[in-house]
Structure 1
Amino acid sequence: MPDSSSSRSRWRTRRPGKRGQRWLAVLVFLFALVLLVIALWDWNWFKGPVERAVQAKTGREFHIGGNLDVDLGRTLTVRGDGLTFANASWSRTPRMASADRAEIDLRAWPLLRGQIRIPEIRLTRPDLLLETAPGKDQPGNWDFLGPNDGDPPVLQRLLIDDGRLKFLGSAGRTDVLVALNSGKPRTPDSAPPLLVKGKGRWKGNAFSLDGNTESPLELTNSDHPFRIHLDGRAGGTRAIASGTLTNPFALRVFNLQLMLSGRDMEDLFPLIGVAMPSTPPYRLNGRLKRDHDIWRYEEFTGVAGDSDLAGTAQIDVGGQRPFLKADLASRRLDFDDLAGFIGAPPRTGAGETANAEQKARAAALAARAKILPDTPYNLTKLRAMDADVRWKAQRINSPTLPLDDMDAHLKLDAGLLRLEPLNFGVAGGDIRSTVRMDARKDVISTQLQASIRKVQLGRLMPDSKLADQVAGGVSGDLDLAGSGNSVAAMLGSSNGNVSVGIGRGHVGNLVMELAGLDVAESLKFLFTGDKQIPLRCAFGDFGVDDGVMHARALGLDTTDTLIVGEGSIDLKQEQLDLLLRPRPKDFSILALRSPLRVGGSFKDPSFRPDFKALGLRGAIALTLGTLTPPAALLATLETGPGKDSNCGGRYRK
């Protein structure tokens, strides 16, 4: 018979096992219940707390208009529909951002340690508005987070489906709408690039943008090169930026290949605030770098009009005004491409480069009776920035002047512009000048000082046949001061002195006889050939008063003919009124020897004999015995090796 005590013992041993099974069943039930609760839980209960938390952090209202849902696992997925985020209080548009759906993946275990690790964010139809504040010192509407006390979230991938970004300028002249979509990533683990395509207005100019960049998330990776290729157009200006950035937020390396082109460099002022003179169409290519407030365009090459242009330019935007410093060089400079500096258009004939507006201005200028440029300088541009620019040209192409080279140094400081120096090599000699334009008041005051030295007269003649007729070195000095906001106004109000002279040389007899209207001598030399006549000197000395040049001394002396002049040149009206009185030193039976009247306008001068003055020739001839140039000119005249000028001697018949 079995022992009853052992039976009870075995029963007691089995009983706890049944209890354990019951507890296990309870735990399984509770876990299943929790899973069921989680599965059936309405996460929308958290919408209110989430909205209040975002508003507390940013100071702006945040709403989840649709469902809020969470998928649990090692990676949590938070999903929200119908999201809206309020704009800054000063904006006229109440909503800054919205999205049909946002999905955020979160690593669970780091979250328990207080660290936010976000493998990926997916946005469906996001709509973002960025706008500048109306006040100059106010931040844009994107400044709302304030200081970050903890570790920033780590975001690895951002996917955008049918996104839209709008940028508005406070002045109302900038309104750009950009479509954003994520492209295909280069590797499975890399963030996808961002495809960009937009259009609108930038500073009042039609604007378009097309290209792609790496994901914006890659900007936080200081070791990963951020690839970019953007093609932007604003009005007649185009910029293509291509290359890589490395942590540009830290400003350690900002190095892009930038191609910049447009119809006129003057268009850059309303776009980026850099004041440039008007130029023909241009195209430049160089490296763009940034170091805090300094932007450098290094070792660029290109063309502006029919001139080549190379160098390095940098702009410092950290001061009261942008400061441009540049070192420029041209191997070949087309002189008319500089016309924008004096408010004139470039040449527009065959083979010349100009935009449509410049061609229209050139046509209007050609139709005018006057030739001096009357386009006013833009005072706002002259005061908007400071500059220190050096420009050298090795060779100059000019159809009307035999210019050799150029050395110019421009300084601009708070509306005071100085060209120190502005030098040109001309016909074997040089013109050295300084220009000072003070645009700090409403009317510009200008001073011009120039010296002309050893410019060869023969090389000034565009026609080779005429060039063979004359030889001699031209020297002189100009000292003018005027006021006005255009070149025409400055010269038309100028005061000062203009003196120019020619020392020893020679002049063709044909030229002299034609000037003296000696018919017989002219016909003879036309058919039998010309001979050279020694030139003793020639000079003109003018006092300038309120834009009118009055001849104080005007003469030319050769072994063949003595000519003395008088009269004036009106710079304001652009009119000539000079009388040249010849006194022949030889005999001709058909010599008319009448004075020559030089009149008409700068654009259409006239040369005709003055028969009224002819009757007075005998009396006037008595006063022409002495030809004396101003003392100041004597030091500049070329006299030949070891010889004094013959001018100042006395002639008697």
Structure 2
Amino acid sequence: MLAATLVFAAVIVFLILFDWNWFRGAVGRLASAQLNREVVIQGDLRVHPWSFSPKVEAYGVRVAQPDWAPKTGDQAGRPMAKVDRIAVQIKILPLLKGEVILPLLAVDRPDVRLLREASGRANWVFGNPNAPKKPLKLPAIQHFIINDGQLRYEDKQRDIFFNGMVSSNEQATGDGRGKFVLEGKGQLNRSPFTAMVTGGPLLNISPRRPYPFDATVDAGPTHVTAKGDITKPFDLGRFETQVSVSGPDLNRLYALTGLTLPNTPPYKISGHLSRKDERFDFQKLVGRIGDSDVSGDLFVLMGKERPYLEADLQSKRLDFDDLGSLVGAAPATGRGETASAGQKVEAGQRDATQRLLPDATLQVDRVKAMDAKVKYRALAVNAPNLPLKKVRLDLTLDKGVLTLDPIAFSFSRGDLAGKIRLDANPKVPRTDLDLRLTNAKLEDFIPIKSGGQPAIEGGVMARAKLTGYGNSVHRAASSANGQVTVVSPKGEMRQAFAELLGVNASKGLILLLSGDNRQTSVRCAVADFTVKDGIMRSNQIVADTGVVLAKGTGTIDLQNEKLDLRIEGQSKKPRLVRLFIPINIKGPFMAPKVGLDTSGAVTQGGIAAVLGTLVNPLAAIIPFVTGGGAKDADCASLVAGARGDGAPVKVTQTTPAKVKN
């Protein structure tokens, strides 16, 4: 008995006097093997075993960078992490039930440097880099302290840089219970950044009860608030929260989320966000983007080679200029319109340069960084000067190829629908566009009235099939190749305007000035262009009316955004006095000028001969526009008229100096 007592006493004395620093090397080597990089404890290793909650303290802990880390620059020679002191306390009795509860986790003056290369390799990934990624999972912590933490985060893959401070502690509250506070602040991509997470007191935390929290994040002008619960503390792979997000542009959320979101006007959206492992669900999303409402559901799958987003969204009323932000166009900035400060500057530059096609650069790396499938519907549209009623977009993004199929706009009468495909994988991105306008009406797009009646009316159909190369809308248009065709198979227009297609000054001007509202038929009108290297060259521009046959030639320069068109008319009826002067339409898209060419003679040829030249072109043009399905698209009356009526009297006339009455 005495011997046993002496042995027990000797063990107690040994443990009391034992120097735990003898194990520093062994602990460092064990940690190095687990993390696959060097871990060193340079200071003391202290153990306090005589408790149901034993405590371990390590001083001067250093975790080295991986072998591939930069050997030059401001990161050279600096460890991934260095910590003045780490203190951990664990409860013994809950371990018997399989629960890990830490009464204390304290980290003094940590300096952590996180780095991810453009290839995606990251220094915070330990062990096998190809192993499935899992969300961070911490045990329940009853007292969590970070004193004077420094954090530097450089992500070359996502072009993100953060440098700031992190701290946490518990603060007293008015009810005497206290609250947990985790705070970070610094610079994110050269913009101010602050984040604060507050929660209930940690003292009574249990892994069997949800832990409530509130969070706010301000990243430059982007503001995020959240209120929810961590389902099982502190398994960060499972939580439920109500989130509100606002900012000048959804695209700026990339730094916070890693998701490639479209450019938008200022927005404010909210909804219920939940996480279950690598799946994030954002349900009952509601809010506004620009001057448009938006609602719906979406989810994101992480942990794959690329994040995957799927969404089903709709707007009860879409403000059409908000949609232009998707292709880099600044929204309208007039009174009552919503636009960020940067977008107002872009709009000013657009107006100053008189450019219509956006030149905002496509973020190619971001397009290739995720996959997506999005459905969007606008049930009503606010589009001044356009008879637009509904919008439908189905978008897929797969391995760097973005497809809109269909992209569809429903007008009061008629539809514009088709497919756009953008391949961001080549060195120079390629865009293919094929859009058709069907069953539309001219009077809806040319709302000019005379005496309460439309100045021109009738059906219209069109098709644009183009391929372009470049990383912006303007650059793709500047290199475009393909065909653009517009056809009006039959209709009516005010006779005065038909006479002016010439211009027949002796007839058209008199009718126009006198307010004569007589109508004449439009048997067929065609504008067909071949597009090569961004230049649209006319193949056929013809309008066959009851009184005048108008023909046109010219080009439309998509790169410089300029028009250069010429229209000449021939009367179908003999006139005692005729003055036919060609019309020139020249200048930038945003401000073209219409002028008369009075420089010389206009030769009046045979109408039938002119119409006859359209037989073969129409045979190719009409199927291109209609696909062979439209009943009234063959312009057959135009060709039949040429064959049946014969040619009127041919007159060659030199433009007189003055008009004689």
Q: Same fold (TM over 0.5)?
A: yes
Identify which of 533, 539, 543 aligns with 1:546. Answer: 533
Shift of 1:280: 0.8
Q: Distance in 1 between matches of 2:472 and 2:105?
A: 59
Identify which of 158, 163, 169 aligns with 1:181. Answer: 169
Identify which of 384, 394, 401 aligns with 2:386. Answer: 401
Q: Distance in 2 between matches of 1:501 and 1:258?
A: 51
Q: Distance in 1 between matches of 2:17 and 2:165?
A: 34
Contact 1:219 1:246 in 2 (8 A): no
Q: Which amino acid aligns with 2:286?
A: T
SS in 1 for 2:638: coil
Q: Which amino acid aligns with 2:338?
A: T
Q: Which amino acid aligns with 1:616?
A: V
SS in 1 for 2:489: strand
Which residue pairs with 2:104 in the alignment?
A: 121
Q: Distance in 2 between matches of 1:450 and 1:114?
A: 66
**2:168 paired with 1:168:** no
Which residue pairs with 1:4 in the alignment?
A: none
Contact 1:537 1:557 in 2 (8 A): yes
**2:624 paired with 1:611:** no
SS in 2 for 1:173: strand
Contact 1:130 1:142 in 2 (8 A): no
**2:553 paired with 1:562:** no
Task: Compute the TM-score of the two structures, normalised by the length of structure 1.
Answer: 0.79
Contact 2:498 2:545 in 1 (8 A): no
Shift of 1:57: 5.6
Contact 1:243 1:255 in 2 (8 A): yes
Aligned pair count reads 599
Q: Distance in 2 between matches of 1:117 and 1:276?
A: 39
1:207-606 mapped onto 2 (5 Å cutoff):
207-214=193-200, 221=207, 223-247=208-232, 253-462=238-447, 468-515=454-501, 516-518=503-505, 521-586=508-573, 591-606=578-593
Q: Which amino acid aligns with 1:425?
A: S
Which residue pairs with 2:181 in the alignment?
A: 195
Q: Which amino acid aligns with 1:175?
A: N
Contact 1:232 1:239 in 2 (8 A): yes
Which residue pairs with 1:631 in the alignment?
A: 619
Q: Specify whether residues 65 and 292 from structure 1 end up closer, same or farther in structure 2 by C-alpha distance, changes over 3 A only.
A: closer
Q: Specify whether residues 165 and 448 from structure 1 end up closer, same or farther in structure 2 by C-alpha distance, changes over 3 A only.
A: same
Q: Distance in 1 between matches of 2:216 and 2:172?
A: 20
Q: Distance in 2 between matches of 1:285 and 1:464?
A: 46
Q: Distance in 1 between matches of 2:219 and 2:442?
A: 48
Contact 1:43 1:70 in 2 (8 A): no
Q: Which amino acid aligns with 1:449?
A: D
Shift of 1:573: 3.2
Q: Which amino acid aligns with 2:390?
A: D
Shift of 1:631: 2.1
Q: Specify whether residues 639 and 414 from structure 1 end up closer, same or farther in structure 2 by C-alpha distance, changes over 3 A only.
A: closer
Shift of 1:212: 0.4
Shift of 1:421: 1.1
Worse-matched range after superposition: 302-311 or 363-372: 363-372
Q: Specify whether residues 473 and 42 from structure 1 end up closer, same or farther in structure 2 by C-alpha distance, changes over 3 A only.
A: same
Contact 1:163 1:179 in 2 (8 A): yes
Identify which of 74, 78, 83 aligns with 1:92. Answer: 78
Q: Specify whether residues 427 and 590 from structure 1 end up closer, same or farther in structure 2 by C-alpha distance, changes over 3 A only.
A: farther
Contact 1:533 1:558 in 2 (8 A): yes
Q: Specify whether residues 322 and 115 from structure 1 end up closer, same or farther in structure 2 by C-alpha distance, changes over 3 A only.
A: closer
Q: Distance in 2 between matches of 1:365 and 1:217?
A: 59
Q: Distance in 2 between matches of 1:500 and 1:521?
A: 25
Q: Specify whether residues 134 and 422 from structure 1 end up closer, same or farther in structure 2 by C-alpha distance, changes over 3 A only.
A: closer
Shift of 1:435: 1.3
Contact 1:130 1:141 in 2 (8 A): no
Which residue pairs with 2:35 in the alignment?
A: none
- RMSD across aligned C-alpha pairs, in angstroms? 4.2
Deviations 1:258-285 (Å, cap 9, x if unpaired)?
1122111221234432122321111110
**2:123 paired with 1:132:** no
Which one has the largest radius of gyration? 1
Contact 2:79 2:113 in 1 (8 A): no
Contact 1:193 1:212 in 2 (8 A): yes
Q: Which amino acid aligns with 2:585?
A: V
SS in 2 for 1:140: coil
Contact 1:177 1:198 in 2 (8 A): yes
SS in 2 for 1:617: strand
Contact 2:611 2:638 in 1 (8 A): no
Contact 2:292 2:322 in 1 (8 A): yes
Shift of 1:196: 2.6
SS in 2 for 1:231: strand
Q: Structure 1 unaligned runs (5+)? A: 1-29, 144-153
Q: Specify whether residues 174 and 436 from structure 1 end up closer, same or farther in structure 2 by C-alpha distance, changes over 3 A only.
A: same
Q: Structure 2 unaligned runs (5+)? A: 33-38, 67-76, 128-137, 649-661
Q: Specify whether residues 464 and 394 from structure 1 end up closer, same or farther in structure 2 by C-alpha distance, changes over 3 A only.
A: farther
Shift of 1:199: 0.7
SS in 1 for 2:185: strand
Task: Compute the TM-score of the two structures, normalised by the length of structure 2.
Answer: 0.78
Deviations 1:232-273 (Å, cap 9, x if unpaired)?
022332221211121276678422111122111221234432
Contact 1:88 1:141 in 2 (8 A): no
Which residue pairs with 1:17 in the alignment?
A: none
Shift of 1:608: 1.7
